[in-house]
Amino acid sequence: MQPFLVELLAQERGKWTFLHPLGSSLSHPGPVSLRTALPAERAGSAVLRLDAPEFPGKPAHAVYREFPAKTPGRFELDVPGFSATLTLKSVPGGGSVGALSGIKLGSAVKADRIPAALYVTDGGKKFPVLLDGFKLQSDRIGHVFTGDEPLLLHLIRPGGGALEADYTVTDYFRNRQIGRGRIKLAAGETAFSVPLKSYGSFTVTVELPGSPLQLRVTRIPEPLDLAPEDSFVGMNIFQQQIRYYSYQLPLFAKAGVRHIRPWLAWENTWTMQQPHSGVFDTSQLDAMLRRLALHGQKYTYLLYGFSPVLNLPSTEKSALNAKQMRLWRDYVKRIVAHCRSVDDWEVWNEPDLLSRDSDFTAEFYREFLKETSRAIRETNPSARVHGISLAGNLDWLRKVCEGGGAAGNIDIVTLHDYTPPQRFLQGETGRQEILDKSGFPGKTQFFNEIGSGGFDGNPAYTGAYPGTTEREQAERLAVTYALALHVAGPGGKAYWFCSLDPRDSTRKPHWNFDSAFGLLYLGGQPKIAYAALAGMARMLDGNECLGHVAIADSPVRYVAFSGKRAIVWSDSREGEIEATALGCRPDEELTVRDLFGNPVDQGKAANLTLKLNDGPRFLFGSGKLSETAAESRKAWMEERRLAAEAETAVNTLPVMELEPNEKRSFEFTMPPGSRAIWSETPEFPAGLRVRTGRDRVSGEITAGGTAGAGVVKFTFRLPSEDMPEVIRWLPVDVGRRSFIRGGSFFHDLLEFCHPGVRVEAKGGVDNSGCLRLGGPFRGRIHHPEQLPMLPGRPLRFKAMLKGRLSPDVRLSFHAAMFSGGHWAGTWRIAALGEPPLEGKKYPGTPLPLSISPDGWHEVSAELPAGRLPGKDLTLIFYIDVNGGEAADWLLIDNLELYQ
């Protein structure tokens, strides 16, 4: 009932070894039990039916590969992407039992076909070889049922006699039994219908004597009949053993996904299409585009990867010379002309990350974007160019956007944001400010990567990465889409990352923050969040996002859409709110639905209360919520416009690095009639003289005789009362180079913004600001720095720490150093619960930490100049913190890393 490889992947989930971190190669030692009706001694050959990826389940397009027996009952199966040893042994009464062992599964890119069925033959008839054992099955990938179609299951009992059995149905999201029944089971196979009408994820359990059988099934609403241009629901597609367009595209079309963004190394890449001169193969690309058209989906073509024909050191992050750029432009024109059905073209993925220690700099990307955009538009004038694809490096974004030129080469701004809903809008502040100042206001934005983890197969993983249960992922999904659309504005779209779990969350070596971001497990089994995606698409898609509203003095928030609909949730994941307290008019007739689209309540707003401890709610019928949200977003955009206008009215200045006793001038220009005030941080290491004029503030800084660092804060009040104040920070280093500026956190250091991290304006050693990390802790906080390190000087670290940390918390501070684009070594500066890093590339011994909630603890460490791991170094400072509880917290203040 299931394609052989799909069933094998699903049945053995959790037992596969990932030979590649992203699962493109898997192995399984076996044995995996099998059975067939043909006695082993009569089986002359094994036969694999191999389906064409474009035509899964279509025998007319399949091919059959035959493998003669090596010895009686033993067969070596070997096709691209799949190999295993099949052994069979005859059993009394006819037929055989056996096993697969030594199973190796390769990448879908290398496997041109899908092992859809396994047989043995006596030279005439083919006998199916089936995965053995009692099982529940359905006839569809992922066991997904839509709308009101019957939920028909099959119970398979090899050799079993007739009997009666009870079954139960459990709501997986709520862990609550919602139905039961009794069925008559015949020998062999029995089909039976489960009267389940609710939407969501469910477990059907048949209580067989001694061996209950279970199957996860999913029921989702019928998808809306929407043209892709009218839909905002996108998906990043991931594949491992089976090409994604075979089974995933139709599965996500059922859930309402209308936009597909591919991975970085498949049919969309020049690398794959032209691996060497004389070859240009788009057959997989063409098959994928036909499948998209069949299922009413559109493709965002991700231009990524240079062909090896360019002879570059890297196909991803090497800059191009003039000749190579001409070849790239020729390729772009060729592929755009070839893909006439594709309107959306994205220029590279996360170039800000690739820019670190490479010549693929912000300046190069700006030029590369211009040339690529020109090639696309010349070939297809109606095409939309997507650009930036920002992972989070704000310094890179400033460099790309400076001068305003980038905006003219981009039709759609693309951003990646994995911040949880509670901090999503805060996390967007910095880059939206930069875009606002750089000619992008009004540009459509696509959040082409949003996501969070969900995994219930390993308590150790969810313990190490709190907030990653399937239920939590499902609750966050619809809310994250809504918040992304609020920021993106009219015409915006959002793409979940990603369709299939990219890593193995069952084995610790492969754990990562994004291990469980997929909505499907191996074998296509949907998580709860898949049902939540389908519910959200049915409830909200095709309607314009009007805006976000936070209820005062409450964790409750909502995002409203046209069509008198909204999604309502609580940041605390608990509580309730009366519809009138939410903002509805008392006489409005409302309908409430749950996360999956099931009706929950209805009635006049005056009599209705939304209970939010069962996940977000969809609310229909309130025009007042729509009006309030639209007004709120309009006011927010006006604030942003004024802030951008004010920010561009005053110039910025670079850091001042002075030698002791050196004197240097500075100057800010401002609109005539502006006023300025200024102040220095304590222990400022220089003398400051300031002069004010009609349209400028200028002066001199005279360094003192000893090394130190400080900042001058300038506040500009512009002539128009509508304009906000403009703050400019002028960092000053005397006799040193600082790699962290503003580490006393008297202003937001947006580079440190990260899930669970915020700047407290009235905290710290002197109540002027500090960094707060809230538990439970998970992951790494980066602070990238482009300044080169100084030769011959020690690297010094200082910080003040205070906190409440559980015994299992692991905390460490690091400076990773790079030379010529390659990692040179890492200094583990200080650590709690972490061992020293051993080896030549790990200089220095970490300082042990002692942290208390009762008082500040000073940390001071030094790496001597002779221990620096090379020359021409740059560095990245980062903090690793993991474990703990919700009540844990850590404050960091007066953070310095300098030479």
pLDDT, mean of residues 568-593: 96
The answer for residues whose C-beta is within 8 angstroms of residue 322's C-beta and 6 or more apart is none
| Tokens at 47, concatenated | 């036969």
Q: Is the pLDDT of residue 753 over 60?
A: no
Residues 141 and 127 in one domain: no
391 DSSP assignment: -
pLDDT, mean of residues 636-662: 94
Crossing angle for the helix pair 244-254 and 283-294, nearest 10 degrees? 20
Tens-place pLDDT, residues 498-515 = 999 999 999 888 888 889
Integer angstrom CA distances of residue 858 from 351, 759, 799: 38, 19, 6
245 DSSP assignment: H
Of 275, 892, 222, the C-alpha closest to 535 is: 222
Tens-place pLDDT, residues 792-814 = 999 999 999 999 999 999 999 99
Residues 76 and 148 in one domain: no
pLDDT band at residue 748 under the 50/70/90 scheme: very low
N- to C-terminal Cα distance for the chain? 66
Q: What whole-number percentage of the chain has pLDDT above 70?
A: 98
Reported as half-sphere exposure (CB side, CA atoms, 13 A), residue 92 has a value of 0
* Residue 348 counted as domain residue: no
How far is 754 from 419, CA to CA, in rounded Å? 7
Of 555, 599, 549, the C-alpha closest to 574 is: 555
Residues 32 and 116 in one domain: yes
Residues 727 and 754 in one domain: no
Q: What whole-number percentage of the chain has pLDDT above 90?
A: 79
194 touches 167 (CB < 8 A): yes
Strand order of the sheet with strand 151-157? 135-137, 151-157, 188-194
How far is 88 from 79, CA to CA, in rounded Å? 20
Map tokens 């030979």 to a residue. 19
Reported as half-sphere exposure (CB side, CA atoms, 13 A), residue 316 has a value of 11
CATH at 703: 2.60.40.10
Residues 791 and 878 in one domain: yes
The count of domains in the chain is 5
Query: Of 604-608, 669-673, 880-884, where does mean pLDDT reach its minimum?
Result: 880-884
Average pLDDT, the chain: 92
CATH at 758: 2.60.120.260
Label each residue of 836-898 as H, E or C. CCCCCCCCCCCEECCCCCCCCEEEEEEECHHHCCCCCEEEEEEEEEEECCCCCEEEEEEEEEE
466 touches 513 (CB < 8 A): no
DSSP bridge partners of 810:
882
Domain termination residue (choose one: 703, 734, 765):
734
Residues 179 and 52 in one domain: no
Reported as half-sphere exposure (CB side, CA atoms, 13 A), residue 555 has a value of 15
Cα–chain center distance at 851:
33
* Residue 428 counted as domain residue: no
Q: Looking at residue 750, what is its pLDDT?
A: 47
Residues 96 and 183 in one domain: no
The answer for residues whose C-beta is within 8 angstroms of residue 207's C-beta and 6 or more apart is 165, 166, 167, 168
Tens-place pLDDT, residues 714-732 = 999 999 988 999 999 899 9
| Tokens at 394, concatenated | 């704000």
Domain termination residue (choose one: 132, 147, 163):
132
Of 34, 453, 10, the C-alpha closest to 217 is: 10
Integer angstrom CA distances of residue 816 from 513, 801, 813, 873, 875: 20, 21, 10, 10, 5
Residues 848 and 893 in one domain: yes
Of 771, 746, 750, the C-alpha closest to 759 is: 771
* Residue 361 counted as domain residue: no
* Residue 270 counted as domain residue: no
pLDDT, mean of residues 526-555: 97
Q: Is the pLDDT of residue 784 over 70?
A: no
Reported as half-sphere exposure (CB side, CA atoms, 13 A), residue 275 has a value of 5
How far is 247 from 56, CA to CA, in rounded Å? 8
Q: pLDDT: is 286 or 358 the higher one?
A: 286
* Residue 641 counted as domain residue: yes
Q: Is the pLDDT of residue 746 over 60?
A: no
Tens-place pLDDT, residues 174-230 = 999 999 999 998 888 899 999 999 999 999 999 988 789 999 999 999 999 999 999
Q: What angle do CA 283, 284, 287 make, to 5 degrees?
A: 85
Query: Of 196-210, 633-647, 873-887, where does mean pLDDT reach its minimum?
Result: 873-887
| Tokens at 17, concatenated | 């070894």
* Residue 380 counted as domain residue: no
pLDDT band at residue 744 under the 50/70/90 scheme: low
Phi, psi of 765 (to 5 degrees): -60, -40
Q: Looking at residue 474, what is its pLDDT?
A: 97
Residues 143 and 113 in one domain: no
Residues 773 and 801 in one domain: yes
Query: Of 62-71, 163-172, 786-795, 854-863, where does mean pLDDT reach its minimum?
Result: 786-795
Tens-place pLDDT, residues 410-442 = 999 999 999 889 889 988 988 999 999 998 988
CATH at 193: 2.60.40.2550
How far is 611 from 479, CA to CA, in rounded Å? 16
How far is 490 from 159, CA to CA, in rounded Å? 60
pLDDT, mean of residues 359-369: 94
Residues 112 and 151 in one domain: no
Domain termination residue (choose one: 76, 101, 132):
132
How far is 544 from 30, CA to CA, in rounded Å? 52
* Residue 406 counted as domain residue: no
Q: Is the pLDDT of residue 767 over 80?
A: no
Q: Looking at residue 211, what is its pLDDT?
A: 83
Tens-place pLDDT, residues 280-312 = 999 999 999 999 999 999 999 999 999 999 999
pLDDT, mean of residues 467-496: 96
625 touches 560 (CB < 8 A): yes
Map tokens 């200082």 to a residue. 798
Residues 108 and 146 in one domain: no
Long-range pairs, 372-378, Cβ under 8 A, ≥24: 372/303, 372/328, 372/329, 372/332, 372/347, 373/347, 373/409, 373/410, 374/329, 374/409, 375/329, 375/332, 375/333, 375/336, 376/332, 376/336, 376/345, 378/333
- Cα dihedral: 219, 225, 228, 232 (round 10): -60
* Residue 511 counted as domain residue: no
Crossing angle for the helix pair 362-379 and 322-338, nearest 10 degrees? 40
Of 387, 300, 383, 403, the C-alpha closest to 350 is: 387
577 touches 554 (CB < 8 A): yes
CATH at 628: 2.60.40
Q: Which domain holds residue 719?
A: 656-734
